[in-house]
Structures are given as C-alpha cells and as structure tokens.
Amino acid sequence: MVASTEFPLAPPPLHAGGITQVRGLQAGHFTDSRRPTGCSVVIAPQGAVGGVDVRGAAPGTRETDLLDPANLVGVVHAVLLTGGSAWGLDAAGGVMRWLGERGIGLPVGTAPGQIVPIVPAAVLFDLHVGDARIRPDAAAGEAACAAASDAPLAQGNVGAGAGATVGKLFGMPYAMKGGIGTASVTVNGVTVGALIAVNALGDVVDPATGVPIAGARTVTSDALRNSVAAVLAGEAPLSLLSGTNTTIGVVATDAPLTKAQCQRLAGAGHDGLARAIRPVHTMSDGDTLFALATGQSQATDFNVLCVMAGEAVARACVNAVRAAQGVPAGEVWLPSAADLLAGRAGGSSASG
C-alpha cells in the first residue's frame, strides 16, 4: 500500500484573485441544496472573443463548434458550467433567455427580439450525489445570471461544484468532495483569471510538490492513497462508466486576442489541469476549458499569457478542493480536504 499523505498543521490560505478580476466579466452561481447540484455562469455583457479546448474523452458540451477559429461567429456573451450531466445543458436556455431580455446577444435583424445570445456550455457528472432527478434547468441558468456580478466569487460547494467529487479511480467509497474554485494572476496590468469546477477521476495535488490534497483514500479512509503511485505500484483501478467525472472551466483575460489565440489560451489552461490533477484527461473524464478575451486592457506577449493561464487554472483547482465541505452520497460520506486535515474523514462506509 502506498504511504499516506502527511498534512501540515494548518492549511495554506486560498490563492488570491478570481475570474471577476478580469475586466469586462461578471460571474455568478446557482446552488440547489436539495441534492446538491448547481450551475455557474461567466457573463461578458459587452461580448468577448472565445475559444475552447476539449481534452477529456467523455465531454458533454454545447456550442463548441462555433468557437473553431475557422467558423464565423466571433463573439461570446456567456459561458455556462453546470452539473446534472447532459440534463444540465437545459440551463443554457435560461442563460440565453436572461441575456436576451436585456438586449445582450448577436444581432440577426432590426426588429425587437432579433438577437441570439451566444452561450457555449459544458457539463460535469454529479448524478451519484443525492437525488439524480434534481438537475439544473433553465430556471437555474437564469438564477445564476441574476446572481452574477464583478464581486469576489464564492468557492467550494457552490454552483457547478456543488455536487462535484474527486479521487474516484478506486470507487466512490474512497472518493472525496470536489468543488469549484477561482483564481487570477496579474502581470503588468493584464489579468488572466480562471473558474474551474473540479470533478476529476484523479487526485488534486499541490502543483509545487506533487503531494495530493484531495483524492482517492486508503481502505481505512483516513489518509490519501496517491492514485498515480498506487496504479504504478500495481493496484487495479475500478472499472467506471465513461463520463462520470470531468473537470470544466473558463480561463479568461482582459488582453485583446483573436479566436485562434483564445483556442491556444484554452490549451495552455490545460497545462494547469495537468499540474494540479493526476491523472487527468482520462477516458472517463470530459475535461473541457473555454477561453474568453474581453480586450479591455493592453496587448501583451502571448507566451506570458499562456504561462499566466496555466498558473491561474492550477491555483483555481487547488482552491476548489480547499474550499469544499464534506457531504453524504447515499451510504458513503465524501470528506473534504479540510475534513482530512482535521481528522474528520470518518463516517464513510468504505471498508477494505
């Protein structure tokens, strides 16, 4: 058995900043505490250039093809991140309705109402937490928009992260609570921010040390197994239904970018996922990152932006699990990173 992770006496503080530090963006959550589940939205009221990069093998998405640099539409008005698996894509209709009622969208004529808000979306699978019949819908999307602002954004068990879990490589009895996190980096007046809902098959690790923060636990449920080390030592993963995981998010900047550059920025964001989640981009994950560029600051070196994107995404992933709180999932208790730190991982029905 792989040696357990040793935790420090106190958790480090959450990484600073957030996606609302990016000029020209607002963000908000809707959380349905009955299950829990929810959705999160990033709104660009004045529009933003968009891109996307899908790396996981089991994605659930909407309006991703239009973000291809070869395709026509060049503006995005909002991005939706949602729980509920494919059911949760219904929430995008509510986002469109909310934007359309406020005149935010792509003009397609001169008569009233002839606008089409462009709202790409991605879902994560959270149906194994609580009553799977409760899913984000159009009303949930509208509620997330109504809550959106440029104020600091809540993290952990909120929005698209409400039902998120991590560390499922060896089965749900040994998994932990995931969540949603945000962070930002500013260099010479230009900001890159990220909002990431972490629902990974793998572990979330400290990028500086590679030490797991939250993920698959040992059979005693009081320590972390270290999924990659366990697999390399010969432990067999549990066979899982594809698509029952997925990390989704938005990486955004206030620098001006083209669609092609936004696509590359989303790809650089995946570097941050690879630093903070191990393993990542698996056959059971649908890892998807959107990129937005509002153009409200000055241009800067694109390589610097890519470095910033990877760092913001990695920090947001860490924030997601550090801010999370433990929840029940049927007969299984899903502890948080804070629970393990405080010695409160008990309550799980896991047995060896």
pLDDT value for 332: 82
pLDDT value for 242: 61
Residue 72 to residue 51: CA distance in whole angstroms: 13
- What does the DSSP assignment read for 63-87? S-GGGSTTSS---EEEEEEE-SGGG
> pLDDT digits over 40-71, tens only?
999 999 999 999 999 988 899 999 999 999 99
200, part of any domain: yes
> pLDDT digits over 74-123, tens only?
899 999 999 999 999 999 999 999 999 999 999 998 888 899 999 999 99
Residue 60 to residue 63: CA distance in whole angstroms: 11
In this structure, are residues 38 and 83 in contact, taking their beta carbons and an 8 Å threshold? yes
- From 194, 91, 105, 100, select the one nearest 143 (Cα to Cα): 91
pLDDT value for 238: 83
Average pLDDT rounded to a whole number, residues 17-29: 98
352, part of any domain: no
Q: Of all residues in the chain, what percent carry a pLDDT higher than 70?
A: 93
6, part of any domain: no
Please calculate the CA angle 136-32-159 and round it to the nearest 5 degrees: 75
pLDDT value for 350: 38
pLDDT value for 2: 46
8, part of any domain: no
129, part of any domain: yes
Average pLDDT rounded to a whole number, residues 232-260: 90
> What are the φ/ψ torsions at residue 42 (nearest 5 degrees)?
-115, 120
Please calculate the CA angle 293-193-21 and round it to the nearest 5 degrees: 90
Facing residues of 292 across strands?
50, 252
The conformation of residue 88, written as its DSSP 8-state character, comes to G
Give the number of domains in the chain.
1
149, part of any domain: yes
Q: Residue 185, Cα to own-chain centre: how many angstroms?
A: 17
Name the residue with tokens 């998010």: 249
pTM over 0.85: yes
pLDDT value for 290: 98
Mean pLDDT of the chain: 92
> pLDDT digits over 123-160, tens only?
999 998 889 999 999 999 999 999 999 999 999 999 99
Q: Which domain holds residue 35?
A: 19-341
CATH code of the domain covering residue 159? 3.60.70.12
The conformation of residue 146, written as its DSSP 8-state character, comes to H
Facing residues of 52 across strands?
290
Q: In 148-301, which residue ranges form alpha helices assigned H by DSSP?
A: 227-232, 259-276
Residue 74 to residue 328: CA distance in whole angstroms: 43
pLDDT value for 330: 77
351, part of any domain: no
pLDDT value for 78: 98
- Which residues are CB-contacts of 306 (< 8 A; sequence separation ≥ 6)? 264, 265, 268, 271
pLDDT value for 8: 52
- Which residues are CB-contacts of 150 (< 8 A; sequence separation ≥ 6)? 20, 25, 26, 27
Cα dihedral: 182, 106, 122, 311 (round 10): -30
312, part of any domain: yes
